[in-house]
């Protein structure tokens, strides 16, 4: 009987944890995940890696120049600076930035008439690796009610902006924003998270 009760309690605990991770972003500092978080390697990418991203960016810019797209807003404004966030918030913002970047570039590479597939292959694999590592650095999210007003603050605003962009922006404008932001993500945002408290 005791073993059965323990199994039920364990199952309920796992369900509660899954629900918490799928819930809204916390507005107060949560506990850490307990996973191995190793970001030091990304304080600076190698010249070879940066060259691969440069080729990808140049190819994307050339592809965009052939399209007649008009974008009225900038997805990543000049005010996007991870130093404005609390230390625990920075990997959360970077993870969302990486997720959108991967989604947009994967869509660009998957187009039937796209010549970008080969040039984006290595950068996409690198972004996937970075994304996997950054997920290990995310804070655990406490359970919160599903209903209620959206949390206030710079981080929730940025995350909402990225989420809404996928719904409101055209694919070409998303691609342009991600292309424009690519090297800031790699040489500043990624370095800032990898540097931890030294990024001031």
pLDDT tens per residue across span 46-103 = 999 999 999 999 999 998 888 777 776 678 877 789 999 999 999 999 999 999 999 9
Residues 6+ apart with CB under 8 A from 126: 49, 52, 53
Band (33; pLDDT cuts 50, 70, 90) = very low
Count of Cβ atoms closer than 10 Å to residue 85 Cβ: 19
Per-residue pLDDT at 19 exceeds 50: no
Highest mean pLDDT among 76-80, 131-135, 151-155, 167-171: 131-135
Percent of the chain with pLDDT over 70: 72
Question: Which residue in the block uniquely carries the two structure tokens 């010549």?
Answer: 115
- In this predicted structure, what is the pLDDT of residue 71? 79
* Domain 42-143+151-198, CATH class in plain words: mainly alpha
The DSSP string of 113-179 is T-S-HHHHHHHHHHHHHHHHHHHTTPPPPPP--SSSPPPPSHHHHHHHHHHHHHHHS-HHHHHHHHH
Average pLDDT over residues 139-161: 68
- In this predicted structure, what is the pLDDT of residue 151? 56
Please answer whether residues 173 and 71 qualify as being in contact, where contact means their C-beta atoms are separated by less than 8 angstroms. yes
Residues 6+ apart with CB under 8 A from 62: none
Collapsing DSSP states into helix, strand and coil, what is residue 18? helix
- In this predicted structure, what is the pLDDT of residue 32? 42
User: What's the mean pLDDT when you consider all of the chain?
Assistant: 79
- In this predicted structure, what is the pLDDT of residue 70? 77
Per-residue pLDDT at 7 exceeds 60: no
Band (152; pLDDT cuts 50, 70, 90) = low
Please answer whether residues 124 and 102 qualify as being in contact, where contact means their C-beta atoms are separated by less than 8 angstroms. yes
Q: What is the DSSP letter of 2?
A: H
Band (36; pLDDT cuts 50, 70, 90) = low
Please answer whether residues 84 and 157 qualify as being in contact, where contact means their C-beta atoms are separated by less than 8 angstroms. no
Per-residue pLDDT at 23 exceeds 80: no
What is the domain partition of the chain in residue ranges? 42-143+151-198
Per-residue pLDDT at 107 exceeds 80: yes
Question: Which residue in the block uniquely carries the two structure tokens 């959108």?
Answer: 100
Please answer whether residues 101 and 127 qualify as being in contact, where contact means their C-beta atoms are separated by less than 8 angstroms. yes
Q: What is the DSSP letter of 112?
A: T
- In this predicted structure, what is the pLDDT of residue 99? 95
- In this predicted structure, what is the pLDDT of residue 49? 95
Give the Cα separation of 91 and 88 in Å (integer): 7
Count of Cβ atoms closer than 10 Å to residue 92 Cβ: 24
């Amino acid at each position: 009987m005791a073993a059965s009760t323990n199994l039920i309690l364990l199952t309920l605990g796992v369900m509660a944890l899954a629900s918490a991770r799928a819930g809204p972003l916390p507005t107060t500092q949560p506990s850490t995940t307990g996973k191995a978080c190793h970001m030091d390697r990304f304080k600076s990418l190698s010249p070879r890696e940066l060259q691969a991203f440069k080729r990808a960016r140049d190819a994307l810019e050339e592809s965009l120049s052939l399209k007649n797209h008009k974008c009225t807003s900038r997805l990543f404004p000049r005010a996007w600076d991870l130093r404005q966030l609390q230390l625990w918030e920075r990997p959360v913002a970077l993870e969302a930035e990486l997720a959108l970047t991967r989604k947009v570039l994967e869509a660009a590479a998957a187009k039937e008439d796209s010549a970008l597939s080969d040039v984006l292959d290595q950068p996409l694999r690198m972004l996937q690796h970075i994304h996997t590592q950054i997920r290990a650095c995310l804070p655990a999210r406490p359970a919160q009610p599903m209903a209620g007003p959206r949390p206030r603050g710079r981080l929730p605003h940025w995350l909402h902006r990225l989420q809404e962009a996928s719904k409101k922006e055209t694919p070409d404008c998303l691609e342009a924003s991600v292309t424009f932001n690519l090297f800031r993500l790699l040489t500043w945002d990624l370095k800032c998270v990898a540097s931890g408290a030294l990024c001031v």
